[in-house]
Chains A and B, each alone.
Chain A
Amino acid sequence: MIGYALRRLAQAVPTLLVVVTLSFFLMRLAPGGPFDLERPLPPAALENLRRVYGLDQPLPVQYLGYLAALARGDLGPSFSFRDLTVADLIARGLPVSATLGSLALFLALALGIGLGSLAALSRGGVADRVVGLLAAASLSLPGFVVAPLLQILFGLTLRWLPLGGWDGGAPSHLVLPVITLALPQIGAIARLTRTSLAGTLALPHVRTQRAMGLGRARVLAHALRGALLPVVAILGPLAAALLTGSVVVETIFGLPGIGRYFVDGALNRDYTLVMGTVVLVAALVILFNLAADLVSALLDPRLRLGR
């Protein structure tokens, strides 16, 4: 098990290398640079700036330099936030995004699995149809439509919750962003749980358990263990979706998270900031994929032996 985990961790290194290489050369090959301002800088100053940040060197040298720094854990200085390193910015933004993301993940899993189980247990019934409809609706409602609607309802009309801002992570500021972020994932997980659980409940061993007089709750607990495998398997894509969604949510609600820094960095052609956030996001997604595989292996012994 530990050997398997280590092997998977080692496989993540080439993936990260692909991310770094792709984003590095994509950005550098594009026209424009971080010091293109409305009023062009005098050539001498520009030359100086480029030398300070090492942009005057040939691309391969810069690339190797970046890789070497990255291996030491140094993400470099930010170009647009003067006097701050990318690591500083990530240290500021990550707690915000992590709070949002983990709460949304928890909400999505709890509600998604709960509603999905409800639908599977009443297959073909009213609850099944209602959950199916809600799931389809939540999958078709983009976050950038949901967020303003929530803002109107709870912020402007009812005045229960603030419209946006972070305010040190006060709970009232978290409610709307977390709901917006979790909503499409609730639908996705509910559907997946329903399909998988409905299939499992029709299996012979579940019928046997029922025939032997096991209570509904016990049967459900047994069936869920197997039925949740597909849900665990999408943990990686789920993390990616939450990270992507956080870009919109942080923009709309004005939260100082990683997604916001990424967009700002990209718009300002802040090479190191964009690289840093992309590498971080890739690392997180890879980590979640890995965690999903490990949990799957724990739940399903066949997967352990298979590899």
Chain B
Amino acid sequence: MSGTGAPIPAAAPRRLAPGRLALGRLARNRGAIGALALLGLIALACLVGPFLTGHAPERSYPDLRQLPPGLAAQPGPERLRPALDRLAFRMRAEVAEAEREGATLRLVLRAERPVDPRSLVYLPRSDLFGEPRILAREEDGRRLVVEVPVRRLHFLLGTDVHGRDLLTRSLVAGRVSLLIGLTATLVALLVGVAYGAVSGFAGGATDAVMMRLVDILYALPFVFFVMVMVVFFGASLALILLAVGAVEWLDMARIVRAETLALRRRDFVRAAEALGLSAFAILRRHIVPNALGPIVVAATLLVPRVILLESFLSFLGLGVQEPATSWGVLVAEGSRAIESAPWMLAGPASFLVATLVALNLLGDGLADALDPRRDA
């Protein structure tokens, strides 16, 4: 008893130790950190990426349908000539010469009758060219020399059947998929934690009845219910969120109940009870915070399941509806065009799978880090 103040500063860091230790273990898990970084990158790309790709998600380029992915600027030489021929046909003329110098195209149009200069408006109206400039009118206007800038468009992941940029669409779709994943997990989290904590804390007959209900719900083919609901009530985002959240809270409830049962017998909870704290206050202050580890792990592993369920529904045409899009919708479109344009599947599917893998790795890493049996 030399100094009464001495043990307190020594005890304070020890109180934080389990959390610190877990964080330290997580930081040393290269897979989990990589997964976290990848997730951050994907989320950031989905948030700001669509503004940087230079295409609006709904903008379609009818002349550039089903382009394969690539770094080259479009329209490339092989797309330019057919597009020019089509435009010239509309102008009632023929392309006699077309020569590309960098970003501009020198075009010689020829026709039986004089070419109406006003018809040149077809050029900028298409997706591929800028404002044309007439260099020379020859042979009474039957020969027209035109200079027109060629646009340089980039489609890193190619375009879909409507000529829309797949990168932009994948990123915009990612917003929806991630939003659904997070929100539905939150719904499941709130319902599951509240249900499990109340059931475990109340114990006795209440617990038995509440858990029997969970058992019954477990035996239901829930995904089929979700599909029935979505089909019959129309697929709205709110309904999908609600339905997915309502399906996935069962695991969370079981985990939280088991934790609560164990915590309930601990001295500090009994002390809180003896002090006259209300049941709600004990749950809020003592039970739920101490069960946070398993809850966080379960929630992290729930997000990929929710995203998978949403994309499953969207794949069947029961989920997110046009004009909104999600990874499931894009994958469905891609798998329909698999023979003619396999990249339509590859792009969105890579985003989806990368996100799912990263979330699963992160969840496993968290579970390992929070496992008290593991050595530090």
Where the two chains meet, the residues of A that have a C-beta atom closer than 8 Å to any C-beta of B are: 12, 14-15, 18-19, 22-23, 26-27, 30-32, 136-137, 139-142, 144-145, 147-149, 151-152, 156, 236-237, 240, 243-244, 247-248, 251-252, 262-263, 266-267, 269, 274, 277-278, 281-282, 285-286, 289
Contacts and interface: CB of A to CB of B under 8 A. Distances in A.
A88 B356 CA distance: 40
Contact of A142 (B216, B223, B312): B312
Interface string B290-329: 0000000000000010001001100110100000000010
Contacts of A15: 216, 219-220
A232 B332 CA distance: 34
Interface of B: 216, 218-221, 223-225, 227-229, 231-233, 304, 308, 311-312, 315-316, 318, 328, 331-332, 334-335, 338-339, 342, 345, 349, 352-353, 356-357, 360-361, 364
Contact of B331 (A145, A247, A267, A269): A145
A114 B338 CA distance: 34
A136 B360 contact: yes
A152 B342 contact: yes
22 contacts: A26-B232, A31-B233, A32-B232, A140-B353, A140-B356, A141-B356, A142-B353, A144-B315, A145-B335, A145-B345, A148-B334, A148-B345, A152-B342, A236-B218, A236-B219, A244-B223, A266-B227, A269-B231, A269-B232, A277-B224, A278-B224, A278-B228
Given A136-B361, A140-B360, A274-B228, A145 B352 contact: yes
Contacts of A136: 357, 360-361, 364
A281 B342 CA distance: 34
Interface of A is mostly: helix
A279 to B, nearest CB: 9
B232 A18 contact: no
A146 to B, nearest CB: 10
A269 B230 CA distance: 12
Contacts of A274: 228
A151 to B, nearest CB: 7
A11 to B, nearest CB: 9
Nearest 3 A/B pairs, CB to CB:
A30-B232, A140-B356, A148-B335
B311 A142 contact: yes
Given A15-B219, A136-B357, A286-B219, A262 B312 contact: no
A289 B219 contact: yes
Given A15-B219, A18-B216, A31-B232, 10 more contacts: A14-B216, A19-B220, A139-B356, A144-B315, A147-B335, A236-B218, A236-B219, A244-B224, A267-B231, A282-B221
